[in-house]
């Protein structure tokens, strides 16, 4: 009976999209083996999974799938787990003395729910107020992409993006809003295809209502530029 209750609690934990920490839960030996070895191990395990599901891995369409999945997991989909791949975010002096808010909106988010390993797809919006340094615009996209490429919970991803930019820019005045669809909700379980999840993290000046509202107004502007 106790085992059944534990199993139910674990399932419910995943369904509620609860994160255990703002840091990704990595083992201390996470990088003791090479990416090549990880690909080889995952390939074998993926063969077992597909075989168990009843698929014929001698079929031309399927025989390369275990290796393709393994390479995608290590090199792409979960590449953000490896700190070696962390983007170098160079900063520059704010020589033009721009003192207002800088907003980078509609940054594409492709991540993976850590509870069901299904996609999370959406947009991130980032803002900061310079305290003397600025960062290249594309670096903000790369930071989002790096932290998104790991098994994630959206709340954690939002916090990690803000924390990283606070370190890079040496300021607390950083904010992030993410609006995303979770296929673990959209394609299974309740199967609600219309809903999305919005998370936010406001640091420093963005905790003030007027600054936060200014940021939120900016991200609502129509900047589709369809005619370009």
125 is catalytic: no
Does residue 66 contact residue 74 with C-beta atoms inside 8 Å? no
CB 157 within 8 A of CB 143: no
Q: How many CA atoms lie within 13 A of 61 on its CB side?
A: 2
Question: Known catalytic residue: 176?
Answer: no
Give the list of residues 6+ apart from residue 18 with CB closer than 8 angstroms, or none: 153
Annotated active-site residue in 104, 115, 164, 176: 115
Active-site residue, from 17, 125, 184, 201 = 184
Active site residue: 114, 125, 160, 164, which one? 114
Of the residues 17, 43, 104, 113, only one is catalytic, namely: 113
CA dist 143 and 138 (Å) reads 9
To the query of whether residue 195 is one of the catalytic residues in this protein, the response is no
CA distance 84 to 86: 6
Q: Is 210 a catalytic residue?
A: no
d(C-alpha 151, C-alpha 147), whole Å: 9
| Active-site residue flag, 116 | yes
* Residue in 17, 116, 152, 160 annotated catalytic: 116
> Helices (H), strands (E): how many in the chain?
7, 7
Q: Which residues are catalytic?
A: 113-116, 154, 182, 184
């Amino acid at each position: 009976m106790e085992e059944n209750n534990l199993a139910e609690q674990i399932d419910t934990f995943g369904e509620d999209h609860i994160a255990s920490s703002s840091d990704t839960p990595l083992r201390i030996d996470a990088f003791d083996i090479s990416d090549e070895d990880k690909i080889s191990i995952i390939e074998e395990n993926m063969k077992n999974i597909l075989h168990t599901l009843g698929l014929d891995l001698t079929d031309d369409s399927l025989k390369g799938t275990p290796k393709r999945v393994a390479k995608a997991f290590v090199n792409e989909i979960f590449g953000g787990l490896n700190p070696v791949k962390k983007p170098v975010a160079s900063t520059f002096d704010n020589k033009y003395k721009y003192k207002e808010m800088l907003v980078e909106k509609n940054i594409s988010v492709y991540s993976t729910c850590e509870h069901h390993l299904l996609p999370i797809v959406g947009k991130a919006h980032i803002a900061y107020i310079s305290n003397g340094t600025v960062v290249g615009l594309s670096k903000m996209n790369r930071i989002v992409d790096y932290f998104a490429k790991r098994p994630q919970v959206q709340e954690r991803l939002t916090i990690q993006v803000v924390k990283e930019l606070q370190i890079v820019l040496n300021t607390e005045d950083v904010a992030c809003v993410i609006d995303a669809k979770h296929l673990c909700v959209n394609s299974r379980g309740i199967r609600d295809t219309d809903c999305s999840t919005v998370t936010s993290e406001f640091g420093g000046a963005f905790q003030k209502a007027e600054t936060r509202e200014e940021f939120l107004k900016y991200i609502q502007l129509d900047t589709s530029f369809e005619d370009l």
